[in-house]
């Protein structure tokens, strides 16, 4: 560890808010944590690489926000309450201005969800952000992918295709629509929604790779198929204004990075789901049904046509 | 997630051994874990980047071993029992041969310590391995950096400078001595030692950045200084054969990557420490004393002279 690394860690450390269950935070070989007795831990780890997961010119604050958001979204998709995280920050050089900006976004979101940064490291290399996040969930109450049953309704929160729309504009060298770009750079992890879906949803996943690709994970894990109504997929006003109907529908069905929750629930919970949307002031849309068989029917849109390809 | 990423994850997943406390392993948005009631979690996260933390031509099996070893070493330094880990593997392209080799080393070490891989991701980018590791430790029993007291003896396990010796040979374009290269590529995390030091050591750290740099962390955290006898630092036969006495002493005092444990213990525990060395068949060397003040006196070897500089 060099003086440069010490300085960066000090800059990060001074921003940290702790929690009562953090026995020992940043500064030793490990953090020491006291999980609440009788609860389970939900654990996830996601890495974002510059130029792969975000445009290289993305503002440091947006990078910090998004790196945490994608991990919080995994906790949300399990119905877990965020608790602790560790950060592995790889930078081309010791860049205090980058770290300060990164912290602005990272800690703004961390504070919102009461998640404490308890450790990690800084290393030298191409810009990359690895985060491991841990949440708490009651035994048997986690939202898994394998609980969808034939006849269940398929729901999606918010709107789809916004982040993919911004990315499509960026790739085409066009100016990005601010409302769409905000969805790409500052996704909202649906943590409260995930918590409220415990006991209500039969299966849940966050939309990171594209609706059809992610719903396919639920179908495979549950041993079922799905019928999706492409016309029912929710679109924002900004997306409708920026793309023709055909392009928009593909972005909605196959574009990634929206971080909405796609969940299934028995028909008997239809009214409860609608009531929850009202409580959270977050629109839900019923986009289809779970059916016997395998695979997803969606008016002819291939599920991998535009899905994100890490190793394409 | 692309087909390539699926294939890589499938290759990794088939190698995984589970544990009873893994409620849900790889394959959902999060893993679900059941920590033992009343115990604390020790959590760490370290990333290795090709060309920074290991020579680019390092064998994939050695990369897999070392990436896990450095994290297990952090658990060892806290006295924690390894339990679970997540892996973030960034590869330039979907390379099944690399992943298979990586798994050979990674799972050989994982099996030895009973740590279960429960999640993570694979992404595209310059070769980088991020691991978050979690261990279990009894409340109040973790080995921290802040417990060293004036008069305590300072101990080191094993030998020092071997990994740095191999690195020095490699940087000079020379053939690396096999015994030294093995210490660089396949470090042995001192997990059993860390467990046995609970209740015996007053402070502990693993030697990753170099003895003097790492002991300085103990001194700062404990508000003490240390007198170290450079002539007492243990050297392997291979290191003695490969370097003159002056170079060797610098490698031992300031070279990183040995992953031995440096710990302090009251004089009253001297016999118990020696007995433990015998039990574990691992030599310990008493290399100095904790003293009043701050900083480390070590016969004139500057503590940062050769210490590893991430952002140099």
pLDDT at B6: 67
Name the helix (H) or strand (E) containing A310.
Answer: none
- B129, B34: one domain: yes
The answer to whether B78 contacts A137, with C-beta atoms less than 8 Å apart, is no
Tokens of A24: 């020992």
Residue A236 covered by a domain: yes
**Interface membership of B150 toward A (CB under 8 Å):** no
pLDDT at B299: 75
Number of H helices, E strands in chain B: 10, 12
In this complex, which of A28, A43, A91 lies closest to B86 when CB atoms are compared?
Answer: A43
- B120, B225: one domain: no
From chain A, pick out residues whose CB is under 8 angstroms from the CB of B80.
30
Task: Give residue A167's region: left, alpha or beta (phi > 0; psi -120 to 50).
Answer: alpha
Q: How far apart are CA A88 and CA A90, in angstroms?
A: 7
**Interface membership of B307 toward A (CB under 8 Å):** yes
At residue B62, does pLDDT exceed 50? yes
B123-180 residue pLDDT tens: 999 999 999 999 999 999 999 999 999 999 999 999 999 999 999 999 999 999 999 9
Closest chain A residue by Cα to residue B147: A28
Helix (H, G, I), strand (E, B) or coil at B44: strand
Tokens of A193: 């929604």
In this complex, which of A52, A87, A312 lies closest to B125 when CB atoms are compared?
Answer: A52
From chain A, pick out residues whose CB is under 8 angstroms from the CB of B125.
49, 51-52, 126, 128
**Interface membership of A20 toward B (CB under 8 Å):** no
Q: How far apart are CA A312 and CA B1, in angstroms?
A: 10
Spell B178-196 as b/e; 16+ CB within 10 A means b: ebbbbbbbbbbbbbebbbb
Q: How far apart are CA B109 and CA B51, in angstroms?
A: 23
Could you tell me which residue, A2 or B61, shows the higher pLDDT? B61
pLDDT at B141: 97
Average pLDDT, rounded, for chain A = 93
Q: What percent of chain B has pLDDT over 90?
A: 88
Q: Mind giving me the DSSP string for B217-239? A: HHHHHHT-EEEE-GGGS---HHH
Residue recorded with tokens 């048997």: A140
At residue B297, does pLDDT exceed 70? yes
DSSP letter at A130?
E
pTM score: 0.93
At residue A172, does pLDDT exceed 80? yes
pLDDT tier, A195 (very low <50, low <70, confident <90, very high otherwise): very high
Segment 62-81 of chain A within 8 Å of chain B by CB: 73-75, 77-78, 80
- A109, A166: one domain: no
Closest chain A residue by Cα to residue B120: A45
| Contact call for residues B250 and B158 (beta carbons, < 8 A) | no
Residue A38 has phi, psi (to 5 degrees) of 80, -5
Which of A111, A88, A118, A110 is closest to A21 using CA atoms?
A118
Residue A93: Cβ-neighbour burial (10 angstroms; 0-12, 13-18, 19+): exposed
Residue B278 covered by a domain: yes
- A256, A192: one domain: yes
**Interface membership of A52 toward B (CB under 8 Å):** yes
- The answer to the question of whether A46 is labelled as a binding residue is yes
- B182, B292: one domain: yes
At residue A306, does pLDDT exceed 70? no
- B131, B173: one domain: no
Task: Give residue B195's region: left, alpha or beta (phi > 0; psi -120 to 50).
Answer: alpha
Residue A142 covered by a domain: no
CATH number of the structural domain spanning residue B12:
3.30.1330.10
Q: Mind giving me the DSSP string for B81-117? A: EEEEEEEEEEESS--HHHHHHHHHHHHHHHHHHTPEE
- A113, A187: one domain: no
Residue B306 covered by a domain: no
**Interface membership of B94 toward A (CB under 8 Å):** yes
Residues comprising chain A, all counted: 312
- A130, A156: one domain: no
- The answer to the question of whether A299 is labelled as a binding residue is no
The answer to whether B30 contacts A122, with C-beta atoms less than 8 Å apart, is no
B84-104 residue pLDDT tens: 999 999 999 888 999 999 999
Which of B44, B80, B76 is closest to A86 using CA atoms?
B44
From chain B, pick out residues whose CB is under 8 angstroms from the CB of A209.
1
pLDDT at A40: 97
**Interface membership of A9 toward B (CB under 8 Å):** no
B19-34 residue pLDDT tens: 999 999 999 999 999 9
Tokens of A64: 């910090």
- A293, A156: one domain: yes
A239-281 residue pLDDT tens: 999 999 999 999 999 999 999 999 999 999 999 999 999 999 9
The answer to whether A119 contacts B43, with C-beta atoms less than 8 Å apart, is yes
Residue B304 covered by a domain: no
Helix (H, G, I), strand (E, B) or coil at B122: strand
Q: Mind giving me the DSSP string for A244-286? A: -HHHHHHHHHH-----PEEEEE-GGGHHHHHHHHHHHT--EEE
Instruction: Indicate the residue among B137, B160, B175 that finishes a domain.
Output: B137
- The answer to the question of whether A146 is labelled as a binding residue is no
The answer to whether B32 contacts A40, with C-beta atoms less than 8 Å apart, is yes
Instruction: Indicate the residue among B111, B137, B163 that finishes a domain.
Output: B137
Q: Is the dihedral of CA A213, A214, A219, A221 positive or negative?
A: positive
CATH number of the structural domain spanning residue A290:
3.90.650.10
Segment 170-199 of chain B within 8 Å of chain A by CB: none
Closest chain B residue by Cα to residue A94: B311
A41 lies in which domain range? 5-137
Overall number of domains in chain B: 2
- B123, B60: one domain: yes
- A133, A36: one domain: yes
From chain A, pick out residues whose CB is under 8 angstroms from the CB of B90.
47, 49, 128
- B69, B34: one domain: yes
The answer to whether A44 contacts B23, with C-beta atoms less than 8 Å apart, is no
Instruction: Indicate the residue among B85, B109, B137 that finishes a domain.
Output: B137
Residue A144 covered by a domain: no
Average pLDDT, rounded, for chain B = 93
- The answer to the question of whether A259 is labelled as a binding residue is no
């Amino acid at each position: 560890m060099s003086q440069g690394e010490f300085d960066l860690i000090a800059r990060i450390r001074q921003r940290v808010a702790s929690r009562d269950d953090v026995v020992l935070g940043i500064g030793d070989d490990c953090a020491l944590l006291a999980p609440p007795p009788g609860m389970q831990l939900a654990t996830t780890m996601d890495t974002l690489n510059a130029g792969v997961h975000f445009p290289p010119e993305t503002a440091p604050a947006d990078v910090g926000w998004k790196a945490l958001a994608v991990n919080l979204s995994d906790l949300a998709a399990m119905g877990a309450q965020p608790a602790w995280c560790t950060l592995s920050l790889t930078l081309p050089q010791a860049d205090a201005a980058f770290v300060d900006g990164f912290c602005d976004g990272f800690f703004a979101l961390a504070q919102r969800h009461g998640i404490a940064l308890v450790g990690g490291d800084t290393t030298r290399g191409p810009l990359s952000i690895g985060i491991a996040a841990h949440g708490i969930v009651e035994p048997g109450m986690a939202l898994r992918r394998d609980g969808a049953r034939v006849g269940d309704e398929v729901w999606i929160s918010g709107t789809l295709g916004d982040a993919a729309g911004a990315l499509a504009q960026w790739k085409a060298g066009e100016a990005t629509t601010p409302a769409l770009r905000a969805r790409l750079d500052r996704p909202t992890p649906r943590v409260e929604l995930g918590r409220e879906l415990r006991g209500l949803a039969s299966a849940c996943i966050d939309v990171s790779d594209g609706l059809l690709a992610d719903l396919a994970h639920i179908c495979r894990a549950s041993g079922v198929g799905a019928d999706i109504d492409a016309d029912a997929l929710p679109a924002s006003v900004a997306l409708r204004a920026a793309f023709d109907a055909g392009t928009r529908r593909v972005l909605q069905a196959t574009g990634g990075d929206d971080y909405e929750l796609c969940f299934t629930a028995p028909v008997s919970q239809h009214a409860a789901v609608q009531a929850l949307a009202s409580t959270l002031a977050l629109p839900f849309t019923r986009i289809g049904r779970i059916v016997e068989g395998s695979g997803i029917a969606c008016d002819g849109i291939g599920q991998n046509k535009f899905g994100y390809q890490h190793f394409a």
